[in-house]
Structure 1
Amino acid sequence: MAFDDFIPSGNQAVNPGVYDIENEGIDPEGTLWRALVEAAPWTDKSLVDLGCGAGWWLPKYSDAAELYGVEPDETLLDIARGRDSKAKILHSSAEHIPLADDSVDVVHARFAYFFPHPTYDVSQGLREVARVLRPGGTLVVIDNDTVRGEFAKLLKVSVAAERQGENTYTRQWWAEQGAETRAIMSSWEFQSRSDLESVIRLEFPSEVAENWLAEHPERTGLSYGYLLHIWVKPGA
């Protein structure tokens, strides 16, 4: 089945193994994770990982009462299904969530679908999330901060990242939807230099990646800013 809103990712769809390494290096101090829990606790609740990809984060939600992974890329579904037997993996997309109205408490979208931009309309996906959330339920979108941190500096010189939009427009769009945006400063930190190199080369065009690596020959990590867009369904 094909979905009109689906654009294959340029990272995990290309190399799921390296993308796992990337996920392992995310947020070693737990700053982002604590912010996610604070924004919308999911213990004993139902949670949707929207755009779950290969499912690396699914086991992290083990204390949810119900767990769903929604993913449009057929090549990643079997990997996701092998991550956590508790999770129900659904081949679908942000605009077509195969769950009942008012049936879930929390939706996380981690670098998936919600990239507001003057030339991309993501409002249909928000309407679909609103449909499946219970009144008072929360959507938390994990996005890149394109201003703060070393990762943001790499984004600014990477044409491949243009689709992710720019902070000013992104913040304005979410504010117009009634969402709160929180800036979280964290980092990437990898177990080895080779792991860092493989991830930087996966995420950025060759010239950008090689220039940065040459300028930082001893590094195994970098600072990384996130934006959390938090939208609560009215009516609780």
Structure 2
Amino acid sequence: MFPDFSRAPNIAGDPDLYERENAAIDPSGALWRALRAEADWAGRVLLDLGCGTGSWLPRYADAAQVIGVEPDPDLLVRAARRGDARAGSAEHIPLPDASVDVVHARFAYFFPPGCDAGLAEVLRVLRPGGTLVVIDNDWHRGEFADLLRVSAWAAPQGSGATTDAWWAERGARRTAVLSAWRCADPAELAAVLRLEFPGELVDAWVAGHPGRAEISCGYALFAVQRQP
């Protein structure tokens, strides 16, 4: 077990339901287009850091090589069915120096402060000119952010200001993207929201938004480039 590994209760608690959450995000493709604009992976080597069950690995089909790294052994078994998935963590990436062009970390490890060791390790494996893009929640835009600001589960993260300041101090470029989650029906949306928020908070939101199968969601992308 890697010392920086902390099991994520949402995906580890119900990986099948978390897969449905992953399928629901970004129906317009706004987030996906923004990721390409930050660092296009076509024909390049991409590392999906903290790849979970590997649900995103097939989406990088036009990369020259796609590598998933995941510390949770149970999730790693699932990810390996979808592609090249290896045991590792943000602070222990099983790759040589300067071997990767693009790194994506999607709600994995980078919850500032206290992330400098992982950032240093990512910069080690990036080639000069390569880019790390961290996908995080934008606490300022979207209905999902409204829930974050009142959720007891999210309270330890602060208001998002800590995250923004930490990345700004390290020269990261911040890009805001407004997208959504779109589920098959209202029951599925309520179920996946319960992975992220206390049940009573979800119940109140559902009661105030009857019949809804979609919730707007803001994302913050933090991009750091390894200097030549």
Pairwise same-fold verdict (TM > 0.5): yes
Alignment deviations for residues 33-90 of structure 1 (CA, whole Å, 9 cap, x no partner) = 000001000011100000000010000001111111010001111111112xxx3211
**Which residue does 2:62 correspond to in 1?**
63
> Superposition pairs for residues 141-156 of structure 1, below 5 Å?
141-156=134-149
User: Number of residue pairs matched?
Assistant: 228
> Any conservation in 1 of the 2:19–2:55 contact (CA below 8 Å)?
yes
Cα distance in 1 for residues equivalent to 2:106 and 2:170: 18
State the distance in 2 between where 1:229 and 1:196 align. Answer: 27
- The equivalent position to 1:205 in structure 2, one of 198, 210, 214, is 198
Q: Does the 8 A contact of 1:49 with 1:58 survive in 2?
A: yes
Match of 1:14 in 2: 13
Specify the SS of the correspondent of 1:223: strand
1:20 partner SS: helix
Q: Which of 100, 116, 125 matches 2:96?
A: 100
Counterpart Cα distance in 2 of 1:184 and 1:144? 10
Counterpart for residue 107 of structure 2: 111
1:229 paired with 2:222, answer yes
**Of 165, 171, 180, which residue of structure 2 is paired with 1:178?**
171
Aligned partners of 2:103, 2:179: CA distance in 1, in Å? 22
Q: Is the 8 A contact 2:10 2:196 kept in 1?
A: yes
Contact 1:109/1:141 (8 A) holds in 2 = yes
Question: Which residue number in structure 2 is paired with residue 122 of structure 1?
Answer: 115
TM, length-normalised to structure 1 = 0.94
The verdict on how the C-alpha distance between 1:197 and 1:140 changes in structure 2, with shifts beyond 3 A counting, is same
Q: Which runs of 4+ in 1 moved over 6 A?
A: none
Unpaired runs of 5+ residues, structure 2, are: none
Instruction: List alignment gaps of at least 5 residues for structure 1.
Output: none
Instruction: Compute the displacement of 1:192 (Å).
Output: 1.1
1:104-156 CA distances to partner (integer Å, 9 max, x unpaired)? 00000000000113xxx100000000000000000000000112110001111
Asked if 1 retains the 8 angstrom alpha-carbon contact of 2:103 and 2:132, the reply is yes
Q: Which of 123, 129, 132 lines up with 2:125 in the alignment?
A: 132
Deviation of the 1:172 alpha carbon: 1.4
Q: SS state of the match for residue 105, structure 1?
A: strand
